[in-house]
Amino acid sequence: MVTRKRPTGPYDARVAVYPGSFDPLTNGHLDIIERGTRMFDRVIVAVLVNASKDPLFSVDERVTMARDAVRGLDGAEVDTFEGLLVDYVARARAGVVVRGLRAISDFEYEYQMALMNRRLNDQVETVFMMPAEQYVYISSRLVKEVCMLGGNVSGLVPAAVEQRLVAKRAAMAAHAGE
C-alpha cells in the first residue's frame, strides 16, 4: 500500500483565531468560543481595532468584556488586531480562522471573506461553526439597539456586558438631557 504523508502547512492547525468587532461580545460569541476550545488547543479571540466601524465600545472596553467572559475557560485568550486579518493570523502562527454562522443570511458575506482571505494566504483555513439554537438570532447590533431603546438584554450577553450596556445607556441619556 502506498502511504502519503499528510500535507502540513507552516502554521499550527491546533491554534485558531476567532476575529470580530465584538461590540460587544454576546452569548452567541461565547458559545462559539467554548465550542472552539473543544476543537483547538488555543482559541485567540481577536478584537478588531477599527475606528471606521464607529463602535459603541472602545477597544479597551471590548477587550475587557471579552477577557471577563472567557476567564477560566481553558485554551481561550483575547488579543487585538489591526490591518489584514490574515497578517495577524500568520504572525500568531495560527492555521485556522473560526467564524460563527448563524443563518443562511450570514453565508454570502462569510463566504466572500473566507475566499478573499484564502486568496491572500492559502495556508489559513476558515472553519465555520454554528452556535446553539437559542443564540441564532442574537447579534451585537440588535443587542445594542434593544438595550439603547430600553429593552431587556439579559440572557443575550454575559452579565458584565449587560452592566456596561446599561451604564452606556444611562450615560447617553444623561448626556442627551444636558
Residues at the site binding ligand PNS, with contacts judged by CB under 6 A? 19-21, 48, 84-85, 113, 116-117
Catalytic residue among 62, 102, 144, 164: 102
Please report how close the Cβ of residue 178 comes to ligand PNS at its closest, in angstroms: 31
Query: Any catalytic annotation for residue 102?
Result: yes
Query: Any catalytic annotation for residue 168?
Result: no
Distance CA(77)–CA(98), nearest Å, equals 14
- Residue (48 or 124) nearer to ligand PNS, CB: 48
- Residue (59 or 152) nearer to ligand PNS, CB: 59
Could you tell me the three cell numbers for 142? 440588535
Distance CA(73)–CA(53), nearest Å, equals 29
Q: Give the start-end residues of each E strand in 9-168.
A: 12-20, 42-48, 76-81, 94-100, 125-129
Query: Any catalytic annotation for residue 175?
Result: no
Please report how close the Cβ of residue 167 comes to ligand PNS at its closest, in angstroms: 22
Distance CA(18)–CA(81), nearest Å, equals 11
Could you tell me the three cell numbers for 50? 477599527
- Residue (124 or 153) nearer to ligand PNS, CB: 124
Please report how close the Cβ of residue 20 comes to ligand PNS at its closest, in angstroms: 3
Query: Any catalytic annotation for residue 29?
Result: yes
Catalytic residue among 29, 99, 144, 164: 29
Residue nearest to ligand PNS (CB): 20
Could you tell me the three cell numbers for 164? 456596561
Asked if 11 and 142 count as a contact pair (C-beta separation under 8 A), the reply is no
Catalytic residue among 53, 91, 119, 175: 53
Asked if 25 and 65 count as a contact pair (C-beta separation under 8 A), the reply is yes
Instruction: Show which residues are catalytic.
Output: 29, 53, 102, 140
